[in-house]
Amino acid sequence: MSLRVDYRRSEGWAADIFKEVKKMSEENKDILRGKPWKVLKNYKTYEEAYEKVQQLISEDEKIQTKIRRKSDDTFVVKTRFLEVPVSRNEKRKTK
């Protein structure tokens, strides 16, 4: 998307840029973000974390896992489900 505008015919360059940015942000609202990861547990060694990941995968194949090293040299296991349960929390009309 280009922000080229003829400023002689417009309200001002700042107003035009603001309008373009607002239009771009409205277009991006339809983009779905990734499913959220949940922190399962922290481990002191990678081997402990890897064992937990293997156990989780053997129990449920519809789960994704990842191991991340933190700055304090511990390892965190994060999980998320491939299928997100449908939320039934709809807005209800109130009087």
Q: Would you write out the chain's pLDDT as a tens digit for each of its 95 residues?
A: 555 655 555 567 677 777 777 776 665 554 446 778 899 999 999 999 999 999 999 998 888 899 999 999 999 999 988 765 555 655 666 66
Tell me the pTM.
0.53
In whole angstroms, give the CA distance from residue 4 to residue 40.
48
Q: In what order do the strands lie in the sheet with 75-81?
A: 38-43, 75-81, 63-69
